[in-house]
Chain A
Amino acid sequence: MTSDVIQLVLAGLLLGGIYALAAFGLSISFGVLNILNLAHGEFLMLGALVGYSLFAALGLNPFASVLIVVPVFAVAGAGFYWLLLKPVSRKAGPEKLVASVLITLGAALAIEDLASFLWERPVTGIAFSMPPLEIGGVVVSSLRLMVLLTVCALAVALQIILRRTFAGKAIRGVTQCVDGARVVGIPLSRISAVTFGISAATAATAGVFYVTLFQVTPSVGIPLTVKYLCVVVLGGLGSLVGSVVGGLILGMGETLAAYFFGSQWSPCVAFGLLIAILIVKPEGLFGARG
């Protein structure tokens, strides 16, 4: 029983790594731009389909295909912002939120339908595997461990970018005070586009790892966005550390709930945690008050 629980905790942590990576981008776009991007899951879906296509056509290792996916989706994300969201970026708070929800929801549905049209059947994952590790009777999936390590590396890299580069400091400046950032001459549109590009690139990277583990269909985007929104709220809007911790908590929660109460209770965990955190600490575990 003890080894089962250790197995489950590990599995939950590894699953949570994928959630964390996908939630990064959502956290950044909401925390910095005050835009609720309901098309976030679509970038994950598209990243998964691109990762699958690169594997199927060229036999490219998923970890290597990330090197192609990141720059492509960074540009695509920036383009998405310029075309669809920049026109509403100057609106006041609630108007901007509603407009961003409607625009990104419409975009999500359009992307979903286009992907359904182009991919005849859902991608049931790629036949890429790594031999598992076994330590003291506990089996650890090497693939999921690599994903978790990649997530941690990306989190560190993003923190370095945010603290050491001009773009990163500008992003933090915009998060703290938009008007102040404008006054000191930070090009808001450009920084917003960069932020959105980072958001899309992290989602697409999560998609590449997602398709090595799970099935992907063109319709996974919106349900996943809702789940990652729970992770973001749990961890705190705009907090990268919060996204990682929130993802890990959700992963562990789902796995343990399935073992002790039955698999049918697993989907409730995300919403249960969301309700709990909104009652106890509405700003999230690592979010700032006020």
Chain B
Amino acid sequence: MATGFRKTVRAFMVALLLATVVPAWATEPPKEIVIGATVSQSGHFSSEVGPFKRLMEAWADLVNKQGGIELKEYGKRLPVRVIVYDDKSDESTANRYYERLATVDAANLLLGPYSSPLTFAAGSSAENHQTPFLAICANSPKIYSRGFKWLAGVIDLGPRYTYRYWEMIKAEGKAKSVSFVVENTLHPLGVFEGSQKLAQEAGLDILSSDIVPPDTHDFTPVIAKLRDKNPDIVYVASNIPFAVNFMKQAREMKINPREFHCTHHSGVFREALGEGAEYVVGQSYWVEGMKLGDAGLIKDLLQSAKISEPMYPWAPAYVAAFQIVRATLEKAGTLDKKVLMDTLKGLTVETVLGQAQFHETGYGTINTYPSQIQGGKYVVIWPSGAATGAHVYPRPSAP
């Protein structure tokens, strides 16, 4: 009986010890801020963002060299660690990795993958695990119409992606007609949906609209129709590989509109087409020489990550996202996820791309500018306050 009593006392002492020690562990402040993300290092989207893991690591290094980010709740500055996986430009792979980031890796905050389809898939993981998720280059309205509470996005919605271009076309009053060639994926379809309305509001006749599978190799049927219609503007809403294939074949088949507009026309596009890329108009968040935000941070990070901006024009949007993340953490002062998300949604912050705010459903306010390739360089052509050069219309080789 005495032995049984001793056992009971020992058990009680162990329980008492655990009851005092465990809460101490639980309230121990975090040692670092963990930010999780995926980057399309391979696959279809790697031509757009392939080396961006280096960009994220360069930002984390920069922040840590500055001493980390101050979080008032813990009374100290914490270093940042980024965990980045390769989503292989695949939705199910992205979803799997965001599940891992939100659970196994215990990320405090998630940065979204490149593209609307991948973000659409990955956003669900963040919502399920109630982890703040900041989408970067993803603007399909479908992403933000699901009533998700844990999702916000840096950029404006897809239908408004090229609104500045159509403003310019309306103001100039030169172009009278347009034909659309659209890659059948989420982002280009969203851009096309808005551009149709904006083109009509600008007074243009829409002569044709072709929605084409993303892996199309032969554009002859589409181009044959364009030759018959002869529009002033051929507007290609697509990602880069599609645009390159189309433009090569358009050149081979000698269609010669007054303007080609290719929504994505990065340095990769320019390199693949050579002089065939001259005077093509597309969309850029930032080009060298723009008076927008603090270009120094863009240049520093791109230099550290050894990334050339013309080749990867979405880099400035990622830099803006880093600034938003930092501002959110500093303002929230904690790694409590609910507080972080509420702070993020209510944030107004100046970034390298101008002021960033968030709509109630989560999408942002940052948008692109029309830019034209002139002499191998990217020139923003509208509006006059941001432009670095004049719009050349029609193309010199156009009739």
A residues lining the B interface (CB < 8 Å)? 4, 7-8, 11-12, 15, 116, 120-122, 124-127, 129, 132, 134, 139, 141-144, 213-215, 217-219, 251, 254-255, 258-259, 263-264, 266-267
Contacts and interface: CB of A to CB of B under 8 A. Distances in A.
Of A15, A144, A263, A267, chain B has the most CB atoms within 10 Å of the CB of: A263
Given A125-B244, A134-B254, A8 B50 contact: no
Contacts of B326: none
Given A7-B224, A129-B248, A263-B212, A122 B218 contact: no
B272 interface: yes
Chain B facing A: main interface SS: helix
B218 A143 contact: no
Contacts of A255: 218, 220-221
Contacts of B276: 127, 129
A267 B248 contact: no
Contacts of B269: 124
A124 B268 contact: yes
Contacts, number: 110
B221 A124 contact: no
B15 interface: no
A33 B218 CA distance: 33
Contacts of B244: 124-125, 215
A254 B211 CA distance: 16
Interface string B34-61: 0000000111101100110000000000
Contacts of B218: 11-12, 15, 251, 254-255, 258, 266
B241 A124 contact: yes
Nearest to B224: A4
Nearest to A7: B224
A42 B254 CA distance: 33
Contacts of B224: 4, 7-8, 259
Contacts of A139: 252-254
Contact of A124 (B41, B222, B240): B240
A143 B252 CA distance: 8
Counting chain B residues whose Cβ lies within 8 A of the other chain, the interface size class is: 35 or more
Question: Which of A116, A129, A143, A258 has the largest count of B CB atoms less than 10 A from its CB?
Answer: A258
Given A116-B42, A124-B240, A259-B220, 19 more contacts: A4-B228, A8-B224, A11-B220, A15-B218, A15-B220, A124-B271, A126-B272, A127-B274, A129-B248, A144-B252, A213-B245, A217-B44, A218-B42, A258-B216, A259-B221, A263-B211, A263-B213, A263-B222, A264-B211
B42 to A, nearest CB: 4
22 contacts: A7-B220, A11-B220, A15-B220, A120-B46, A120-B51, A121-B51, A122-B47, A124-B244, A124-B268, A124-B271, A124-B272, A126-B272, A129-B276, A132-B252, A132-B253, A141-B249, A142-B252, A214-B245, A217-B46, A263-B212, A264-B184, A267-B215
B213 to A, nearest CB: 5
A251 B217 CA distance: 11
A141 B252 contact: yes
B210 interface: yes
Contact of A129 (B43, B216, B220, B251): B251
B292 interface: no
B273 interface: yes
Nearest to B48: A121
Contact of B50 (A121, A134, A264): A121
Interface in B249-280: 249, 251-254, 268-269, 271-276
Contacts of A251: 218
Contacts of A121: 46-47, 50-51, 268
